[in-house]
Chains A and B, each alone.
Chain A
Amino acid sequence: MAVIAAHRPAVEEVVSGQGYWAIAWRRFKKHRAAMAGGIVILLFIAAAVFAAQLTPYEFDQINLYNRKAPPSSAHPMGTDELGHDVLTRILYAGRISLTVGFTAAFVSALFGMVVGGLSGYYGGWLDNVLMRFTDIMFSLPDLPILIIIARYIGGRVDGIIFVLSVFAWMGTARLVRGELLKLRTQDFAEAARATGASDTRILVRHLIPNSLAPVIVAATLTVGGAILSEAALSFLGIGIQPPTPSWGNMLQNAQDFIWTTPWLAIWPGAMIFLTVLCFNFLGDGLRDALDPRLKI
């Protein structure tokens, strides 16, 4: 990590003995919105993990004697048209949404690193082909195509994660390529080559680790984007299928009862909004802490 500290002469903050990550953490702590976003996300993760302990109900527990009940102490968010406890469903839906968001961000970051890595390191015709492909993927209207692909997935979570990743790696690929173009001619890369290291070793050991900052920032923002996309597909009725709860399909359901039970529409949407907002704050703070010159 010393290499990074050397080629990024961070202005006044260079204190002897402090590494890149310690400096980044100090900068990150000053970003209040990002800190708040991070804390809220940790709370949401905890709530999703301990959903079973936090609520006495099951997410698919129907109670036909207590349908469309307004919020009360027994049901803080009310009940839906089948008597499900809405809070319970919100918690379990959080599991799905956060899983989809994190996994899609991770998988798309991997895709992006592979494409951007090959492109930036080898250059030439390979770079040309890969970057034109990236341009094309960028210019496609993704939601209309996802609507068609969704018919194949039939609501399977792993399938949804995969297709969302397929449409989310392009930003990372461009960033990694840009970083590699800068890094590959620098002294430490030349030195590694002079010692006889293979291409793979130079890429995996030296170049990729040094271009991780933009990947981390882009991946954080992708978590929010993927949660939003999953919610959109589920809202259209072609994403996660009931009885498995997802914030998107809860919202679709609520639309039918908006005249009689408006609270059903408030909670799931507010959760999507808050979660995406927090990830965007977090990404913003990480960018300022890791590499303020990044244009994301």
Chain B
Amino acid sequence: MQRYLLQRVVQSAVVLLGLSLLVFTLLVYTPGDPVELIAESNPDVQPADVQRLRQYYGLDDPFSLRYLKWLRALAQGDFGYSRTYGLPVITLIGQRLGNTLLLVGTAFVIAFLAGTAVGVYSALHQYSVADYGFTAFSFAGLAMPNFWQGIVLILIFAVWLPLFPAGGMATPGVTAGWPAILDRLWHLVLPVVVLATSGMASWARYMRSSMLEVIRQDYVRTARAKGLAEGKVVGRHALRNALLPIITLVALSIPGVLNGAVLTETVFSWPGMGLLLFQAVLGHDFNVAMAVLLLLGLVTVGANLLADVAYAAVDPRIRYG
């Protein structure tokens, strides 16, 4: 087990290093010059300043030197400064990370709980009206572009019936105590609904098919045959085994969740990591884009590592295979 663990950790570290090199390359050679961008937006900038800025940012250094410098700074925990905000990247991420976690976390918990519940119900009542209804909902949820769903929800619940805010995260002026918490929740409703819809649809589908497979097994029949109450058969015997393959899917679902977060944050102007990344890439804010992407990579690679290790822990064939 230890060898397997070590092997997977090393592998994950290599993947992250490769990802950082790939993204670094893509960002360095992105068409458009960041200093020209600054010069265009500020008429006081002289040609000499442009030269000084290029030198200051190390833009004329050879590629390998730039990458190694960046890596060395990273090793010392230094993510650099944001060109756009004039703040240390770490401060900027500190402000935004919590917002994304709040949005994504809330949506995930709701989607997972509701989705698995729907999936179990569908499996236990296969081919019932409710099962067909939920299946139709799943298909709709998976085909729905979440940016469009966001716009439609804004149209209905912010434009036509002004019940919820059309975007943002807080009402200006409401800063402390219960009013601030309620205000945050009020802003959270529409983006969470958007993010949770597609999540719920896919969890319901996975859970339905996993549960259908499990309830046909002999041990479930045995549990029923020995006179166990149906609730216990489902809860104790079937559900636990059906959940096992689902747990590993959580890790695999993370890239999709992050994609959803980028789009949802853009539609609702939610000041999170997705919006930060998008604006950083458009604005040539190199250090910010690099740090956010690396963090997203760390999350997905880390989740995959965790899932593999958890799977190896319960399945000896993988450990020794």
Contacts and interface: CB of A to CB of B under 8 A. Distances in A.
Interface of A: 33, 132, 135-136, 138-145, 147-149, 151-152, 154, 224, 228, 231-232, 235-236, 251, 254-255, 258-259, 262, 265-266, 268-270, 272-274, 276-277, 280-281
6 contacts: A141-B297, A141-B300, A232-B147, A251-B151, A258-B151, A269-B152
Nearest to B155: A262
Contacts, number: 121
Q: Which 5 A-B pairs have the closest CB atoms?
A: A269-B148, A277-B143, A143-B259, A276-B143, A141-B258
A222 B301 CA distance: 24
Contact of B144 (A138, A258, A265, A273): A273
A147 B265 CA distance: 14
A258 B143 CA distance: 22
Given A139-B304, A142-B255, A280-B139, A269 B151 contact: yes
Main secondary structure of the interface of A (DSSP, over half): helix
Contacts of A251: 147-148, 151
A262 to B, nearest CB: 5
Contacts of B155: 258, 262, 265
Interface class of chain B by DSSP: helix
Interface of B: 11, 15, 18-19, 22-23, 26-27, 29-32, 139-140, 142-145, 147-149, 151-152, 154-155, 159, 252, 254-255, 258-259, 262-263, 266-267, 274, 277-278, 281, 289, 292-293, 296-297, 300-301, 304
Contact of A276 (B27, B29, B145, B293): B145
B143 A231 contact: no
A149 B26 contact: yes
Given A141-B296, A258-B154, A235 B255 contact: no
A22 to B, nearest CB: 27
Nearest to B31: A151
Nearest to A138: B252
Nearest to B262: A143
A142 B149 CA distance: 21
Contacts of A258: 151, 154-155, 159
A259 B155 CA distance: 8
